[in-house]
């Protein structure tokens, strides 16, 4: 019975010693910094990594990041100096530079984020209220962002925070203004389209008028050339007929009569009422056709 009781007491003592030792040790990593507190009072600040010691059950440790942290602010509507309204989304990159000031000012990361967000929103309204939309869209925007960063950093310094950068991730017009601008842009584009269509219609009329004028000139010139050629052809035909008539007047007269007969009797139902002594039938009434001509 006695050895068992001794064993139990020994195990209990060993467990208690382990608990005390574990409570007396803590570690700080490379990206962390620690504040050692005793009943709420700061005893020391550990910025180096490694295994650290503290009084068990009396002292406690608060760990803060040494790395850069980011903070995104909610959309904020600001009014520029030219009365332009913008909905601005901004973000900041910061780090805890003085853990003692940080602990005394805000204690926790959540408290720091709330105060830093308020400082960012106030700074955005203040700085952007003195600039114009033209500046925000030009290379001078970098100077505006620098001024915002400096003012936010000044507000964050008492909290032991250094703000490395502040940037505007998005700057949009409010929805109502965007719709109004879109409507004006649409009306302007429609006006320009109507103007271009009117100009195109005028140019089309000019091109068509010019084409019609050139067509009239070409047709008139072609008709003139055709009349000339037709006159020349008629002159040549008349000359040929005259030459043929001069060589053999009887044959020419006979051939012309045959042409007249062919045209007159071309139809199947042609009927003529003529006198036998009509000049039109003189070759049909001749009895000497087909006989050889007398020798001269």
**What pLDDT sits at residue 85?**
83
pLDDT of 296 strictly over 50: no
Same domain, 95 and 149: yes
Question: pLDDT tens digits, residue range 210-239?
Answer: 999 999 999 999 998 998 988 888 888 878
Highest-confidence segment of 149-153, 169-173, 175-179: 149-153
Task: With respect to residue 33, please indicate whether it lies within any of the assigned structural domains.
Answer: yes
**Per-residue exposure over 93-114, b if at least 16 CB sit within 10 Å of its own CB, e if not:** ebebbbbeebbebbeeeeebbe
Percent of the chain's residues with pLDDT above 70: 82
Task: With respect to residue 111, please indicate whether it lies within any of the assigned structural domains.
Answer: yes
At residue 95 the predicted structure's pLDDT band, cuts being 50, 70 and 90, is: very high
Question: pLDDT tens digits, residue range 189-211?
Answer: 888 998 999 999 999 999 999 99
Task: With respect to residue 150, please indicate whether it lies within any of the assigned structural domains.
Answer: yes
Residue finishing a domain among 173, 192, 226 = 173
Q: SS in 3 state form for the chain? A: CHHHHHHHHHHHHHHHHHHHHHHHEEEECCCEEEEEEECCEEEEEECCCEEEECCCCCEEEEEEECCCEEEECCCEEEECCCCCEEEEEEEEEEEECCHHHHHHHCCCHHHHHHHHHHHHHHHHHHHHCCCCHHHHCCCCHHHHHHHHHHHHHHHHHHHCEEEEEEEEEEEECCHHHHHHHHHHHHHHHHHHHHHHHHHHHHHHHHHHHHHHHHHHHHHHHHHHHHHHHHHHHHHHHHHHHHHHHHHCHHHHHHHHHHHHHHHHCCCCCCCCCCCCCCHHHCCCCCCCCCCCCCCC
Task: With respect to residue 28, please indicate whether it lies within any of the assigned structural domains.
Answer: yes
Same domain, 37 and 83: no
Same domain, 135 and 77: yes
Which of 12-21, 98-107, 154-163, 234-243 shows the lowest mean pLDDT across its residues? 12-21
At residue 110 the predicted structure's pLDDT band, cuts being 50, 70 and 90, is: very high
Helix 175-247 and helix 249-264, axial crossing angle in degrees, nearest 10: 130
Same domain, 53 and 130: no
Residue finishing a domain among 173, 192, 214 = 173
pLDDT of 292 strictly over 60: no
Arithmetic mean of pLDDT, 63-86? 89
**What pLDDT sits at residue 269?**
67
pLDDT of 294 strictly over 60: no
Q: How many domains does the chain have?
A: 2
Domain around 27: 2-65
pLDDT of 293 strictly over 60: no
Question: pLDDT tens digits, residue range 248-262?
Answer: 676 777 777 777 777
Residues belonging to the chain: 296
Are 88 and 167 a contacting pair, CB within 8 Å? Answer: no
pLDDT of 73 strictly over 60: yes
Same domain, 147 and 81: yes
Q: What angle do CA 276, 281, 283 make, to 5 degrees?
A: 125
């Amino acid at each position: 019975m006695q050895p068992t009781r001794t064993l139990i007491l020994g195990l209990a003592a060993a467990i208690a010693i382990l608990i005390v030792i574990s409570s007396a040790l803590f570690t700080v990593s490379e990206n962390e910094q620690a504040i050692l507190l005793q009943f709420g009072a700061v005893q020391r600040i550990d910025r180096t990594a490694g295994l650290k010691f503290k009084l068990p059950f009396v002292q406690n440790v608060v760990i803060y990041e040494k790395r850069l942290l980011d903070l995104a602010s909610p959309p904020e509507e600001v009014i520029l100096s030219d009365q332009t309204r913008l909905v601005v989304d901004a973000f900041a990159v910061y780090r805890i530079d003085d853990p003692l000031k940080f602990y005394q000012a805000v204690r926790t990361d959540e408290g720091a984020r709330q105060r830093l967000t308020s400082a960012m929103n106030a700074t955005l309204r203040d700085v952007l209220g003195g600039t114009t939309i033209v500046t925000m869209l030009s290379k001078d925007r970098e100077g505006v962002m620098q001024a915002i960063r400096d003012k936010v950093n000044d507000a964050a310094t008492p909290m032991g925070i250094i703000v490395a950068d502040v940037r505007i991730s998005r700057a949009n017009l409010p929805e109502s203004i965007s719709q109004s601008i879109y409507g004006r842009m649409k009306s302007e584009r429609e006006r320009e389209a109507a103007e271009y269509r009117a100009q195109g219609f005028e140019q089309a009329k000019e091109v068509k008028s010019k084409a019609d004028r050139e067509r009239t000139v070409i047709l008139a010139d072609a008709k003139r050339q055709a009349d000339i050629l037709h006159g020349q052809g008629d002159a040549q035909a008349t000359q040929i007929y005259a030459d043929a008539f001069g060589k053999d007047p009887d044959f020419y007269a006979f051939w012309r009569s045959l042409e007249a007969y062919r045209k007159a009797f071309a139809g199947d139902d042609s009927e003529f009422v003529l006198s036998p002594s009509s000049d039109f039938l003189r070759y049909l009434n001749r009895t000497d056709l087909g006989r050889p001509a007398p020798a001269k």
